Structure 1
Amino acid sequence: MKSSAKKVELASVDDLFTTEESRADAGREKVVEISLSELHPFKGHPFKVKDDDAMMETADSIRQYGVLVPAIARPDPSGGYELVAGHRRHRASELAEKETMPVIVRDLDDDAATIIMVDSNLQRESLLPSERAFAYKMKLEAMKRQAGRPSKENCSQVGNDFGKKSSEVLAEQVGQSKNQIFRYIRLTELIPELLNMVDEKKIALNPAYELSFLKKEEQTQLLDAMDSEQATPSLSQAQRLKKFSQEGRLSIDVMRAIMGEEKKSDLDKVTFTSDTLRKYFPKSYTPARMQETIIKLLEQWQKKRQRDQER
């Protein structure tokens, strides 16, 4: 005869001697102090950590008050932890001669970690074009993978009821148009030397976008042409360089010819040296006073010309 008694599961000793509150607490995220040497940079981190004035101010604050906002890291399979958010705080802690910093450790997959890493840095007031370009690229690719679609397939649909594309969601999140996001991402095709010139505002964004369509070897040759002609490309020049490249007719000679052209802004500019003007003014006149006097004379001449035309 079979027993009708049900199988009884006995609680473990740990369960018997722990409260419900302590078991719930064990599941919560905790802030732990981790040695700075155990925290490694995020792979492919696109944001630059510079020892500038802002960094020194952060280091002074940490030296006095400590790190007020914990970093976020995930376990690194090769040992230690990979920083997801808090690279600047980590560097500032080093400068402040701290040995540890507060960190929240999370188990994150690559895509979730990438999105958190990008989002935590996009909030900064000033971002370099190169930082924004690589950040948008990394986050968009992670969003596409999370959506479960091939990265090259129709920009990927996000898994929601609205059927929005990943690029559309990203555009809403960062407050940029979808086209502008793709224009920034296109900058990642520039060789480092040209991209640095964009960051340094030696090349504007619109010409840089056009130059990104040049082959890598053509971009390297362009650096030589720019150096020999001591000029950077305007938008129209960059567009012609791109057109010649697409037609297979872009050579170093063509680049030098284009870069050697006088720009419209140069043609519209009239420049006088102080030596040229000095003979028309007393020796006591400063350059600023000479300029002021010339402007007044030109205004008087313009008024006289208008009166003559009205007669």
Structure 2
Amino acid sequence: MLSNLASIAQNTQSDNIRMIDIAQLHESQANYFEMQRIEEFAYTILGQGGIKDNLVVRPLENGGYEIVSGHRRRAAVQYLLDHGENISRLLPCLIQDYADEDAMMLDLILLNVSARQLSDQELWQSYENLDTILKRKKEAGEKFGRVREKIAEILGVSPSQVGKMQNVDRNAIDPIKDAVASGAISISTANVIAQLNEEQQEELAAGDLSKIKPREIKQAAAPKVDTSSNFFEGSDVTEPAYAPPHSPANDAEQEPVRPVPENGKKHSQEFNKLLNWAQSLTHEQIDFLCDSGWYNNTIEGYLIAAAKEADFSKIQIDNLLHGLQKAFCKKSKANVESILQYW
């Protein structure tokens, strides 16, 4: 899937480059990457004596070429020409042929991602395109593992970040998604909003989304999944319950769950039920809860609220949260450690 990018990099060092007049180079309608600081970029190009890195283009049926990579370079040279600077109208271009629009779009994303730090707006639009393309490829029989991991690999972000975008994609109402696409709110903010019910989301969308702060709405987040031990019942999840691997190193780092103190016997049934649930999560359940954004609000809130409701002692609550920490230890989530700081 990434062979085109490697080929382009290799061809950049070869003679497979044509000098094409700037008037024949046309912006792609598919390009959504921002073109900022063109004037500054233009004089950098002028100072280095012209374009040093080739553009990537594809032929158009009615003549000329569509730019796949190099929109800013073309815009910068055009700026210099418009201002009477002495620079060549001919730009070095690698001409690529693509089997379909998906192949072209993949190159457009890959080449831009490799050359810049993406804004949340660009990251979201890249995610949407990649999610559609990769699902089509998977349906066509192409094998490349999980879509989430492949998107993370292409965009150079963590699977957890992709999980946030998937949560927004699946659970946010359209105005919230549109706000991310326009740059009005960040992906992190949209991820928190996506945990609210539809009515709450619509209420927020009716106001000024750009002023919303995630910490102000976290407490209003409404659970959307059943967090009981069998909430995946009926699905195709078949892997066994998760248990941390046994090793002396693990034993040194993490004590076994301590027994419920004698003065907590009357609550031992409720305690053990919650403790067993925390320790019985499967790998897929842990991935879903951590990477889809449910962990902070649903899991932490559920356990702490349940502990208070049962009037557990400080030691019992510590034991309960330690059980959760044990279940999540392989995920190395900072938030797991932060739970203990509440007490």
**TM-score in terms of structure 1 length:** 0.52
Secondary structure at the counterpart of residue 152 of structure 2: helix
Do the aligned partners of residues 68 and 39 (structure 1) sit closer, same or farther apart at CA in structure 2, a change above 3 Å counting? Answer: same
Task: Name the structure 1 match of 2:159.
Answer: 178
Please report how far the alpha carbon of residue 36 of structure 1 lies from its aligned counterpart in structure 2 after TM superposition.
2.1
Q: Map of 1:7-46 to 2, 5 A cutoff?
A: 30-46=16-32
Per-residue CA deviations over 1:144-189 (Å, capped at 9, x if unaligned) read 3344x16xxxxxx7436xxx12332332344433342142356575
Distance 1:48 1:130 in 2: 9
Distance 2:78 2:156 in 1: 34
Distance 1:29 1:142 in 2: 32
Q: Alignment partner for residue 73 of structure 1, among 57, 77, 82?
A: 57
Task: Name the structure 2 match of 1:211.
Answer: 193
Task: Name the structure 1 match of 2:6.
Answer: none
Contact 2:196 2:220 in 1 (8 A): no
Letter in 2 for 1:232: I
Q: Map of 1:10-159 to 2, 5 A cutoff?
A: 30-50=16-36, 52=37, 55-64=38-47, 65-97=49-81, 98-108=88-98, 109-147=100-138, 149=139, 158-159=142-143
Secondary structure at the counterpart of residue 66 of structure 2: strand
Do the aligned partners of residues 172 and 225 (structure 1) sit closer, same or farther apart at CA in structure 2, a change above 3 Å counting? Answer: closer
Contact 1:35 1:100 in 2 (8 A): yes
Structure showing greater radius of gyration is 1
Secondary structure at the counterpart of residue 192 of structure 2: helix
Contact 2:120 2:183 in 1 (8 A): no
Secondary structure at the counterpart of residue 52 of structure 2: coil
Contact 1:29 1:105 in 2 (8 A): no
- Unaligned runs of 5+ residues in structure 2 are 1-13, 82-87, 225-343
Secondary structure at the counterpart of residue 96 of structure 1: helix
Please report how far the alpha carbon of residue 129 of structure 1 lies from its aligned counterpart in structure 2 after TM superposition.
0.2
Please report how far the alpha carbon of residue 79 of structure 1 lies from its aligned counterpart in structure 2 after TM superposition.
3.4
Please report how far the alpha carbon of residue 89 of structure 1 lies from its aligned counterpart in structure 2 after TM superposition.
0.8
* 2:160 is the counterpart of 1:169: no
Distance 2:110 2:146 in 1: 18
Contact 2:164 2:191 in 1 (8 A): yes
Please report how far the alpha carbon of residue 72 of structure 1 lies from its aligned counterpart in structure 2 after TM superposition.
0.5
Contact 1:73 1:82 in 2 (8 A): yes
Letter in 1 for 2:41: T
Contact 1:73 1:84 in 2 (8 A): yes
* Number of residue pairs matched by the alignment: 198
Percent identity, aligned pairs only, is 22
Letter in 2 for 1:103: C
Distance 1:217 1:42 in 2: 38
RMSD value over aligned CA atoms?
A: 3.6
Q: Map of 1:244-255 to 2, 5 A cutoff?
A: none
Q: Which has the higher contact order (CA 8 A, sep 6+)?
A: 2
Please report how far the alpha carbon of residue 42 of structure 1 lies from its aligned counterpart in structure 2 after TM superposition.
2.4
Distance 1:182 1:107 in 2: 33
Per-residue CA deviations over 1:233-290 (Å, capped at 9, x if unaligned) read 434526737779xxxxxxxxxxxxxxxxxxxxxxxxxxxxxxxxxxxxxxxxxxxxxx
Letter in 1 for 2:148: S
Please report how far the alpha carbon of residue 48 of structure 1 lies from its aligned counterpart in structure 2 after TM superposition.
0.8
**TM-score in terms of structure 2 length:** 0.48
Distance 1:218 1:40 in 2: 44
Contact 1:187 1:195 in 2 (8 A): no
Do the aligned partners of residues 57 and 204 (structure 1) sit closer, same or farther apart at CA in structure 2, a change above 3 Å counting? Answer: closer
Contact 1:72 1:103 in 2 (8 A): yes
